[in-house]
Structure 1
């Protein structure tokens, strides 16, 4: 990237020198056309400067995108290796040691949680790949959104905290929707997983599902550190993660909210981020035309 910018600046300097040189020669030998030469030279210079600025921005964008892809690959590698190593260790312990039934059940339960993490990661990557294909269409069907949200909450509740209920649901019964069940499951899972990741240990997560007129409202609220106004505009970008690589401690690939935003756009639904009280964030999803 630095080499490309160096050559860009060198080319711009060379072109500018040539413009001044040819302008001087034209004015010297055709002085009566001095005004026209200066005018056209200024127009050319303005267009040239604008082109250089746009090219520089494009190169910087490519550099940032490449860096994000590199971070994504590193994150995915870590996300894959960590649960695999954990499952391997649990199974080796079960095979090599004479454990009682309760210990075996605990180790197998922990292994299942790690496998669910792997499954969640693979689903995200597969769905993100499908979304890149513009011809991909969502197979929609009527299903009960209430049941889907309850199932996701129950699954994540087991992994969120052992000492107390971490996810508090206000879920209206019998809410139906016409949508892609797999994609919407991914949306619900990503938003609740995200809230858990950015909340204090055993912090409460509020999940709301209700029908309001002809709309369906789904909200996930956490009481973490919250999201700054500047980052609210960026969090739905592909590979983007809150914070910087040096200080970030939470796990993730930067795909979750990108998938959420893209899936909802495909379903003509909207999402917005609000500040929670006294602290934290609220992700509000509104389904309109797809309410059944």
Structure 2
């Protein structure tokens, strides 16, 4: 990156110096046209500098995207390797040791959690691929949104903590017309993020209710919260805070990108606001949620 920028600046300076030199020669040989030459030269110079700055910004954006993609490869490698190694260890322990039924049940239960984690990762990658295909249309159907959220809460509750930390406050029997697979992914990503960025066993409140003809779904946590600057960036593809080699939280940078894209295709809005006394609240609003 540094070498490329040095070469870029050298070429810019060389081009500007050549422009000034040729302008000087033209004025020397045609002094009567000095005003026109200087005026046209300045316009050309302004256009040239403007184009160079645009090219520089585009170069920086491409470099940033390349870094994000590298971080994604590092993170997805870790996300795949860690649960696979864990599952392998559990199964090897069951096969090699004479464990009682309770120990076997515990090891198998932990293996199932890792398999579910892998399943969520694969679903995120598959859905991202589908969403980037502009010709792909989300297949919509009628289903019970309350039951869907409750099933996700039940599954993630088992993985979060032994005590009750995910607290559902759901209006009963809410029906929605949407892509069930994609919306399940949205609910899973939002609740998983709340669990991931919250202190151990901290409370997470999941709400679903209808107000003024609009369907509202929200997830509130008591983690560290998100700065106003970061709120503008967290829905970008591959975007994650910090360096991949030192980051403690798991993830690929796809979750919130999927959430935003899926909701846009359902004509729904999402916003992030601060929770009190700490944490964040992700609020989703469906204007037209029924068929």
TM tier, shorter chain? over 0.9
1:118 is aligned to 118
Q: CA deviation at 1:4?
A: 2.8
Q: CA deviation at 1:5?
A: 2.1
1:226 is aligned to 225
2:215, 2:286 within 8 Å by CA — same for their partners in 1?
Answer: yes
Distance across 2 between alignment mates of 1:5 and 1:41: 26
1:23, 1:37 within 8 Å by CA — same for their partners in 2?
Answer: yes
Map residues 2-81 of structure 1 onto 2, 5 A cutoff.
2-81=2-81
Q: How many residues align?
A: 291
Distance across 1 between alignment mates of 2:238 and 2:50: 29
Tell me, which stretches of 5 or more residues in structure 2 are unaligned? none
Tell me, which stretches of 5 or more residues in structure 1 are unaligned? none
2:75, 2:244 within 8 Å by CA — same for their partners in 1?
Answer: no
Deviations 1:204-235 (A, max 9, x none): 10000001122110000000000001000000
1:215, 1:291 within 8 Å by CA — same for their partners in 2?
Answer: no
State yes or no: 1:194 paired with 2:193. Answer: yes
2:274 is aligned to 275
Distance across 2 between alignment mates of 1:14 and 1:258: 42
Q: CA RMSD in A?
A: 1.0
Q: CA deviation at 1:3?
A: 3.4
Distance across 1 between alignment mates of 2:248 and 2:103: 30
State yes or no: 1:134 paired with 2:130. Answer: no
Q: CA deviation at 1:246?
A: 5.9
Q: CA deviation at 1:241?
A: 1.1
User: SS of 1:123's equivalent?
Assistant: helix
2:99 is aligned to 99
2:146, 2:208 within 8 Å by CA — same for their partners in 1?
Answer: yes
Q: CA deviation at 1:175?
A: 0.6
1:216, 1:291 within 8 Å by CA — same for their partners in 2?
Answer: no
2:206, 2:219 within 8 Å by CA — same for their partners in 1?
Answer: yes
Distance across 1 between alignment mates of 2:271 and 2:97: 51
